[in-house]
A and B are shown apart, each in its own frame.
Chain A
Amino acid sequence: MLRKDINELLTQTGPGTPMGDLFRQYWMPAMLAEELPEDDCPPVRVKLLSERMVAFRDSQGRYGLMDEFCAHRGASLWFGRNEGSGLRCPYHGWKYDVTGQCIEVPSEADNSSFCENVKLTAYPLVKIGDVLWTYMGDPAKKPPLPEFEFAHVPAEQTYTSKRWQQCNWLQAFEGGIDSSHVTFLHSGGLKTDPLFKGAKGNEYNQNDTKPFFEVADTEGGLFVGARRNAEDGKYYWRITPWVMPNFTMVPPRGDHPVHGHFWVPIDDENCWAYSFDYHPVRALTDTERQAMVDGYGVHSKNIPGTYRPAANMDNDYLIDREAQKRGETYSGVAGIAMQDASLQESMGPVVDRTKERLVPADSGIIKARQKLRKAALALRDEGVTPPGVDPEHHKVRSAAIVLPQAESFLDACRDAVTVQPGVRQTTV
């Protein structure tokens, strides 16, 4: 359990909160590049860390992310005209460039000095891979750009989707470092999902429902090792990296692409689940890519034109009790992503952690909360840069491996859990 004050500390990410300040130390996914597909395309509303913003791509291909509301009288710039290298408020024609600088006030007599003094809060927006990244902190402390492998492999090797999740970021993230639920909740998917099935590792997953957890501290976060019995007195290890504050990877299965997530707070009761799949050494096949688009694996089938899953809390996630009874799906909800999301959302917008009962399989979660708390307090009280800001910390991989019982997973896996460009992932 957590005390109430600590639960609030970890779950509140608005401006001025300790965890909000922590999040504002990092580059973070702000949107998918596909949301701003061409120059002068319609602007998009973006809410992150409880701040309402508008994103646009100007006539020169520059990306901008700034306060949603016009400095004049507060109208939403989402209605704006994206034209001539700027976004123009349709109310009185005030125009802003991608840095938030007001560049025209056409309703007034020539007074360019007035313009100069009008600037909206704006953040950098940078395309790396399929994602547009932003940094919402102090410009003087802006770290180098992120180095996560999924965003840096060639385009044909990677795919990223996102979905709106109607709960606080922390309970969504905690699912990402909790390996013991896989054997239960996703047992159907291990057998049938085109992006999961067929791996030898799945058998170990299914045959040993009581994994033993070992958690190792790293410079940027944690490695959570889940150990299950394999044959001949060996252990099957699934190693899940967490890079602070909100990046997790799922251990691979066979030669399937490797997947993972970013859990990005929209506000305290909603988050974005960014879900990626990539293969370190080969292009994704057409079949794999189609399966991702269709919502298999860690992806979701969304309502067309939106990032809201088609199965959602308003339709009880289209639960199929017959499929549940037949064992086709363990919970009756289809798809790995929505199996997770349905249960995480069912806890309520912010789960009351004073009432939970953790068990040894939750040691990764206990450790991660502690690391978040310590980092947020060290930042607040002493200005200490938190783990995970340094791009070197981003160069981690998940791994699945069978080891002799005597070997420690971290000693045996140093190379496997480190990004080595052009080298295949370690997987069973």
Chain B
Amino acid sequence: MTYTDSTGRAYTVDASVGESVMAAAVKNGVPGIVAECGGNVSCATCHVYVGEDFAQRVGGPGDMEEDLLDMAVSERRDTSRLSCQIRVTEDLDGLTVEIPPEQP
């Protein structure tokens, strides 16, 4: 999986199936994924933009996630997700996400 920050710098990590995209970032020290609440859909500090190619496979946000994206995220896009709510699957091999310039 590859995380790209707002300056274009890319971080590629090996993620395990079943963990979250947030957890894989935190474990590998990817900067910009803060994940204050530890993956509980409460803080919106693990916001990412999912790469266009993967957007459909990853799917849309759940209810609580929807609320947070609406109210807490500075620039919400169609591909906005909280990375703690994206489970890594075989299908997502090669996933790319973009890290917004700032987290709440």
Contact = CB atoms under 8 A, between A and B. Distances in A.
Interface in A344-364: 354, 357-360, 362-363
Contacts of A2: 71-72
Contacts, number: 45
**How many residues of A sit at the interface, in one of the four size bands?**
10 to 19
Contacts of B40: 359-360
B67 A6 contact: no
Given A359-B37, A363-B64, A370-B67, A3 B72 contact: yes
Q: Which secondary structure dominates chain B's binding surface?
A: loop
A359 B71 contact: no
Contacts of B74: 3
A358 B37 contact: yes
Contacts of A367: 64, 67
Contacts of A191: none
A252 B22 CA distance: 40
A1 B44 contact: yes
B67 A1 contact: no
A370 B42 contact: no
Interface in B29-66: 36-37, 40-44, 64
A369 B64 CA distance: 11
Contacts of A323: none
A6 B72 CA distance: 8
A1 B72 contact: yes
B42 A358 contact: yes
A357 B72 CA distance: 11
B100 to A, nearest CB: 13
Contacts of B71: 2-3, 6, 366, 369-370, 373
B64 A366 contact: yes
B43 A1 contact: yes
Interface in A15-42: none
Contacts of A369: 67, 71
A333 B104 CA distance: 33
Given A2-B72, A369-B71, A357 B36 contact: yes
B93 interface: no
Nearest to B74: A3
A370 B70 contact: yes
Interface in B57-96: 64, 67-68, 70-74
Nearest to B44: A1
**Which of B42, B43, B71, B72 has most chain A Cβ within 10 Å?**
B71
A370 to B, nearest CB: 4
Interface string A303-334: 00000000000000000000000000000000
Nearest to B72: A1
Nearest to B73: A3
12 contacts: A3-B72, A354-B104, A358-B42, A359-B37, A360-B40, A362-B42, A363-B42, A363-B64, A366-B42, A366-B64, A366-B67, A370-B67
Given A3-B72, A359-B42, A366-B67, 5 more contacts: A3-B71, A358-B37, A360-B37, A360-B40, A367-B64
Interface of B: 36-37, 40-44, 64, 67-68, 70-74, 104
